[in-house]
Chain A
Amino acid sequence: MKKMLPESELARDERFVRSKIEDQIFDPRGAKIAQRNTGPAKMATDRPAAAERSRSLMHGIFVGEIQALEGAGRTCFDFDDTEAPFQLKLDMARQCWDESRHCEISIKLGDHMGAEIGEYSENTFLYAAACNPDPVFRLCGVNRALEGLAIDVFSTMKEFGTESGDPVLEFCEDWMLADEVTHVKMGSDWLRRLTEKDPDRRERALEFQRTVDSIFNLGGFRGDDEENVIQLARRFRELAGFTEQENDSLSALARESTQQARQMAEMASAAADQS
């Protein structure tokens, strides 16, 4: 079996359609929409297209779970025992079990919302973060950055379930949220153990985590405000072992991303108006 599988070789059946990030970036509507008030982005029943937005996000969570399963599975296989201790691989195997359940739960939640598998496109940049050849970087990118994002996403969806009075969504998200806290703690634990005698490697791995965090702020996708779709779940992040300083730093990064996205939209709009 091939080691270090690139994202282009991920196996999917004919239901799945992969999107490219550049299709989103170069969609001329992005600049127009950025200048309009389409209401608060935070999920709520009184937001426009609330049902369609939650379905679309749920499908994004579902394909994210598939990729998280693939990423954890690859970490079990891609490294020998000197690069990644057997106990770490056992933790990743346990994570695979969790992610598999999350896939099944997400499918059921999609059914509950009236979505179909493959109804929305899939982008694979989550898996891309799990392709780093250094297991410590991979753990930082996946278990701390992405599983940290999963905490924010599940907490947001759980709140949406509470707000809409949807007990199915609320409980399912809560159960998955508990697993994500464990996944982050595993990442933090292995980062500390594997870099105990190599602070430089630890710092570079944390820098990689910040890069992944920055990518997944996606121009305002995540943050502390109502204008962000996904809310930073500070309390659950603390339970997972993130410090207040780390949470503040992520929040600042998110605000920066939102601001950058706004500036880019203004520039794109100005360019479009001139042409």
Chain B
Amino acid sequence: MARVTVTPDPFTLVPFDAAEIAALVEDVAAAVEFPLDIDISVEVDEELFPPLTGHMSDIVDGTAQLWVSVANLENPRVRRTFAPEQARPDVAVMLLRAKDRLSEDFADAPPDPQLDRGERAAWDIYAFGRAERFGFAVRRPRELYGFRLQHGFTDVADAAFERCWNAPTMTYAGILEICKETGAADRGVSKVPIDILRQK
């Protein structure tokens, strides 16, 4: 059995090739030094479209289970067109977060649907910073804006962003600490589930 499996196969709503996506994931996994003994399962939600982006990474029964909106893999300028150059950094972030979940540092982290938005944003930035250092074409201002939406447009939030981006290591406890510092932890609970795009 292949190490990377992609569903659906075949795609029916977009002309994407599961084998091509699997090869891309395999390539990115090697680049971010994802453990070779862990299988990777990628579920692409092909019903979503730009700008409905989103992805999740969990470890279930020793397998990295990645869920991603097809919008993350698609060229926003030309509908239903695969954009590997755009997909690569997002896949890197998904794999880096899955790799985090394999470590003791994130052993306490709840599954992605149970993270709050502030925690998720901080963890993503920690992953994007590393993805950039691995050589992926990451757009820092774009990620800063997403972080600010959850942590505030303040100097404290921007300093927290820098720390997450540049951190060589991080723990889930560290993520929680950052959320306290910026005030993201004090935000009320949203009525909109964080995984609403994943729910069918």
List the B side residues contacting A166 at CB < 8 Å.
Answer: 148-149, 153
List the B side residues contacting A47 at CB < 8 Å.
Answer: 192
* 0/1 interface trace, chain B 11-54, chain A, CB 8 Å (1 if under): 00110000000000000000000000000000000111111111
B153 touches A164 (CB 8 A): yes
Considering the complex, give the chain A residue whose CB is closest to the CB of B148.
A166
Q: How far is the CA of A262 from the CA of B170 in the complex (A)?
A: 46
| Other-chain contact of A45, B69, B80, B149, B199 (Cβ < 8 Å) | B149
Q: What secondary structure prevails in chain A residues at the interface with B?
A: loop
**B180 contacts partner chain A, Cβ-Cβ < 8 Å:** no
**B65 contacts partner chain A, Cβ-Cβ < 8 Å:** no
> How many residues of chain B have a CB within 8 Å of chain A?
41
**A132 contacts partner chain B, Cβ-Cβ < 8 Å:** no
**B158 contacts partner chain A, Cβ-Cβ < 8 Å:** no
| Other-chain contact of A46, B46, B48, B50, B192 (Cβ < 8 Å) | B192
| Other-chain contact of A29, B46, B76, B153 (Cβ < 8 Å) | B46
**B5 contacts partner chain A, Cβ-Cβ < 8 Å:** no
List the B side residues contacting A167 at CB < 8 Å.
Answer: 153
**Contacts A39-B196, A49-B197, A112-B145: A28 and B13 contacting too (C-beta < 8 A)?**
yes
Considering the complex, give the chain A residue whose CB is closest to the CB of B198.
A48
- CB interface residues, A 118-133, toward B, < 8 Å: 118-121
List the A side residues contacting B47 at CB < 8 Å.
Answer: 29, 32-33, 36
A-B contact pairs, 24 of them (CB 8 A): A17-B77, A19-B79, A29-B46, A29-B47, A29-B48, A33-B49, A40-B192, A44-B192, A46-B190, A52-B52, A52-B53, A53-B52, A55-B51, A56-B50, A111-B141, A113-B142, A113-B145, A114-B142, A114-B143, A115-B142, A121-B76, A121-B77, A165-B153, A167-B153
Interface residues in chain A, defined as those with a beta carbon under 8 Å from any beta carbon in chain B? 17, 19, 23-24, 27-30, 32-33, 36-40, 44-56, 111-115, 118-121, 164-168
Interface residues in chain B, defined as those with a beta carbon under 8 Å from any beta carbon in chain A? 13-14, 46-54, 69, 71, 76-80, 117, 139-146, 148-150, 152-154, 190-192, 194, 196-197, 199-200
